[in-house]
Each structure stands twice: as C-alpha cells, then as structure tokens.
Amino acid sequence: MPSDVPENPAGSYEAVLFAAMQARDPATGRHCNRVVALSVALARACGLPEAELEVIAPAARLHDVGKIGTPDRVLHHPHRLENEDWEIMKGHAAAGAALIMQTAMPQREAIALAVRHHHEHFDGSGYPDGLAGHAIPLHARIISVADSYDALGDARPYHPARTHAQIMRILNQERGSKCDPDLLRVFESMIGESRLRVP
C-alpha cells in the first residue's frame, strides 16, 4: 500500500474482508489497492479534511468486496457480461455494503454507503438505486472516478490496457453522464502530474 495512504481505524475488520476478497480474486485485490491510492489523492486534491479519508480509504479498498459471493462463471467470464450474468455481477455493490454492515468497524454506515453507491452514475443510469447528481454520496463519486480510471488502464480479458490519454478521452466522454463533472475536472488536473498516472 502506498505510504501516503493514511492508516485508518477500520482495522482488523477491513483487513479480514480484504484478505478474503484477495484470496477469492487476487487481481481484484490489486485493483482495489490502486483505487485506494487514486481515491485518497483525489480526495486530497478536492481539499477534503484528513478525517474524511478514514471513510474513503477503507471504502475504496473494499468497494469490490461483494464479489466474494459472485459465481466463478460470472467473476471470471472472459468476455463482456450480458443479461442475467450482468445482473448477477451488478449485485456486488449492495452485497459488499451488506457485508460491511455485518462488522463493527468504525464508521461502517458511511463506508457501506460509499461501497453500495460506487456504481451510481451522475445522470441516474447507474446501480443499484439509480441515484443521480449530488444525491450520490461524495465518497462514492470519488471512488467511482478512481475505479473507472484504474479499470480502463488495466488489461482485462475483454479489453487491453489503455494509455493515460486514451483513458482521459473516455472519461471526458462520460463527463456528466457517468462521472461527476466537477470531480473529473479536479482528477484530470491532479493525475496529470501524479506518480499514480498510467503511462
């Protein structure tokens, strides 16, 4: 984990859930660690107080923890998911929030809320609840931008890794539909000079 990501009081609950997720799918674990670093950097670029990182960091690390319960045929599908399998995959956001609520980690409600809503879209077309605009919790909107950036820059069975320029082109096409336009503006400025930037 990058040294500039703060320690947080979620402690052993977070560690156990993350270890289970990483054992289930190591690639998801690596992705989640990168999303932590990106989310924390974006939160700081937005001027959020350090106390907010005690929610953002564990939520980013656990944003895909609900995939623990996703069947192998869906989780490891080599192509884009369609129909019933896509509906199963979409369940991971709510499932992850429910798992977190079963723990006694500090600020579990705020962490679970960020995990539940990290796939909501700014125009209301996301899931699981179809929230739009600023009705989507800020923590979730931050994680969404970081998650999209890392996923697009990572080689997947159904797409090659994109360059930074290609990723930003895609994200800007999604500005105001998927991405919060104000957060994306801050992210674009921040990532341009960041060591977290993909090649």
Active-site entry in 34, 61, 63, 67: 67
DSSP assignments along the chain, one per residue:
--TTSPP-TTHHHHHHHHHHHHHH-HHHHHHHHHHHHHHHHHHHHTT--GGGHHHHHHHHHTTTGGGGGS-HHHHT-SS---HHHHHHHHTHHHHHHHHHHTS--TTHHHHHHHHHTTT--TTS--SSS---GGGS-HHHHHHHHHHHHHHHHS-BTTBPPPPHHHHHHHHHHTBTTTB-HHHHHHHHHHHTT-TT---
Which residue type sits at 189?
S
How far is the C-alpha of 33 from the C-alpha of 36, rounded, in Å? Answer: 5
According to DSSP, the residues that pair with 159 across neighbouring strands are 156
Q: How many residues in total does the chain contain?
A: 199
> Is 67 an annotated catalytic residue?
yes
> Which tokens belong to 6?
């703060």
Which residue type sits at 65?
V
Residues marked active site are found at 67
